[in-house]
Amino acid sequence: MPYLDYAASAPLRAEALAAMLPLLQRPAANPSSQHGPGRAARAAVETAREQVAALVGAAPGEVVFTSGGTEADNLAVKGAVLARPEGARQLVCSAVEHHAVLDAAAWAEADAGARVTLAPVDPAGRVDLERLAGLLEPGRTALVAVMAANNEVGTGQPVAAAAGLAHAAGAVLLCDAVQAAGLPGVDMDRDGIDLLALAAHKLGGPTGVGALVVRAGADLRPLLHGGGQERGLRSGTLPAAAIAGFGAAAAAALAEREAPGFAAALAALRARLLAGLRALEPALVVNGDPGRSSGAGGLPGLLSVRFPGRRAEDLLLLLDRHGVACSAGSACASGAVTPSHVLLAMGRGPAEARETVRFSLGHASTEADVDAAVAAVHGALEVLAPQEATT
């Protein structure tokens, strides 16, 4: 089945499965236990910690394993707010952050005395640095959240510049790199990132594990209390097998990034997909800027397109019937497609947002996948006559 939904979840890499299996099949072993099996599990966790740190230009001791990207974002936002005195709890988030950031910030505003200000983005979804700078309140801003690259449209963000502005105002910078950690990649040292959120499954690791990488000096309060694991920032028995899978996926993603031609090949697949779709629908509109025209790298395998007059829900159903997996906007709890806050922030109307489909490619994508997707879209467009826009 042609899978073009890597941004939702990437297929598990063989390396990740191989790293997990021995730990899953092994007898009980808590990485905190002072015995042989415990030490072996601990060793696997520490290897993974090194692999994850290497992926993002951090020191192993800075990696705090969590249950995933959502927990990492929550720990960063809420933990930073709670570490500050009241009156110094302003939060500045780009308007296109993931809901794990935006909703955690909204909680902090409702229940923890924070104030949240959203930094607007340009029509490509890139945060406006001048506007961002104007929103900072030196001494009062606790945290600035600017993601590495947007999960819905692929646009890369000027993270290093945002970090410079945040630091000048006495704030820490949270970078959600859940999508971008593999390609284009992030470097905490180079970019001055204080807090970095990761999720294993977007890299080809298992679901249920992620990390918040916390630079020394970034003050956080923990959200989960208990056994004091992860330097007291995240209590709970470490899932050694899942973490080993995370580490293996991170190592594989790093090898790909450093392999000559891998990123270019992925970009070429995306270009092939776009050309195929344009040939079918000349009125197609591309959302965002995953390319490198801006200098800030975006997601080379992500293609967000609008098919004017066609409801994304209908396209998805027809593509699914052809065995092609992709997604539309963001799905709510019931599974329905709702207009994306990212596209709305970029100035699109709700009707346009409802006509947007996201294709995303990754480590195992092939030309055959792309061609099958184009053929399926061809079939779907034959069925769907353009309809009047509905709001």
Partner 1 sequence: MSGPQVLVAMSGGVDSSVAAALAVEAGWDVTGVHLKLADTPAHLQVQGKGCCTLADADDARRVAGTLGIPFYVWDMAEEFRRAVVDDFADEYAGGRTPNPCARCNERVKVVGLLARARTLGFDALATGHYARVEDGRLYRAADRAKDQSYVLYMLGPAELDHLRLPLGRMTKPEVRATAARLGLRTAAKPESFDVCFVPDGDTAGWLERRLGRRPGQVVDTDGQVLGGHQGAYRYTVGQRRGLGIATATPRYVLRVEPAAARVVVGERAELAIRAVELERASGTDGRGLRPGHARVRLRAHGQEAGCQVVPLGPEGSGEPQRGAPVNRGRTRLDLDEPVAAVAPGQAAVLYDGDLVLGGGTVAATGPAVPAPGG
Enumerate residues 344-383 that contact partner 1 by CB under 8 A. Answer: 383
Both tokens assigned to 279? 């040939």
Is residue 337 a contact point for partner 1 (CB under 8 A)?
A: yes
CB of 383 to partner 1, least distance (A): 5
DSSP class of 61? G
Both tokens assigned to 277? 């779709």
| Residues 302/358, Cβ–Cβ less than 8 Å | yes
Burial 5-43 (b: 16+ CB within 10 A, else e): bbbbebebbebbbebbeebeeeeebebeeeeeebebbbe
C-beta closer to partner 1: residue 229 or 327: 327
DSSP readout, 112-137? SS-EEEEEPB-TTS-B-HHHHHHH--
d(CA 370, CA 186): 27
CB of 101 to partner 1, least distance (A): 19
Is residue 391 a contact point for partner 1 (CB under 8 A)?
A: yes
Out of 8, 40, 384, 389, the only residue in the binding site for partner 1 (CB under 8 A) is 384
C-beta closer to partner 1: residue 126 or 341: 341
Catalytic residue (choose from 93, 175, 326, 332): 332
| Residues 80/172, Cβ–Cβ less than 8 Å | yes
d(CA 289, CA 329): 16
| Mask for 46-75, x = binds partner 1 (CB under 8 A) | ------------------------------
Task: Calculate the dihedral angle through the C-alpha atoms of 316, 321, 323, 326, rounding to the nearest 10 degrees.
Answer: 10
C-beta closer to partner 1: residue 129 or 389: 389
Could you confirm whether 332 is annotated as catalytic? yes
| Mask for 305-324, x = binds partner 1 (CB under 8 A) | --------xx-xxx-xx---
CB of 313 to partner 1, least distance (A): 6
CB of 351 to partner 1, least distance (A): 11
C-beta closer to partner 1: residue 46 or 313: 313
Enumerate residues 282-301 that contact partner 1 by CB under 8 A. Answer: none
C-beta closer to partner 1: residue 96 or 319: 319
Is residue 264 a contact point for partner 1 (CB under 8 A)?
A: no
Q: Identify which range of 122-130, 182-190, 191-199, 327-335 contacts partner 1 by CB under 8 A.
A: 327-335
Identify which of 14, 375, 389, 69 has the alpha carbon closest to the alpha carbon of residue 210.
69
CB of 379 to partner 1, least distance (A): 9
d(CA 143, CA 189): 18
d(CA 132, CA 345): 15
Out of 338, 371, 381, 389, the only residue in the binding site for partner 1 (CB under 8 A) is 338
Both tokens assigned to 180? 């971008």
Q: How many residues bind partner 1 (CB under 8 A)?
A: 20
Is residue 110 a contact point for partner 1 (CB under 8 A)?
A: no
CB of 387 to partner 1, least distance (A): 8
Both tokens assigned to 294? 């801006």
| Residues 221/147, Cβ–Cβ less than 8 Å | no
C-beta closer to partner 1: residue 332 or 368: 332
Both tokens assigned to 183? 């390609």
Residue 94 three-state SS: strand
d(CA 203, CA 196): 15
Is residue 336 a contact point for partner 1 (CB under 8 A)?
A: yes
| Tokens 């720990």 sit on residue | 75
Is residue 335 a contact point for partner 1 (CB under 8 A)?
A: yes
Is residue 334 a contact point for partner 1 (CB under 8 A)?
A: yes
Question: Which residues, including other chains, have CB under 8 Å from residue 260's CB and lie 6 or more apart?
Answer: none
CB of 357 to partner 1, least distance (A): 14
C-beta closer to partner 1: residue 87 or 323: 323
Catalytic residues: 332
Using CB under 8 A, list all residues that contact partner 1: 313-314, 316-318, 320-321, 332-338, 383-385, 387, 390-391
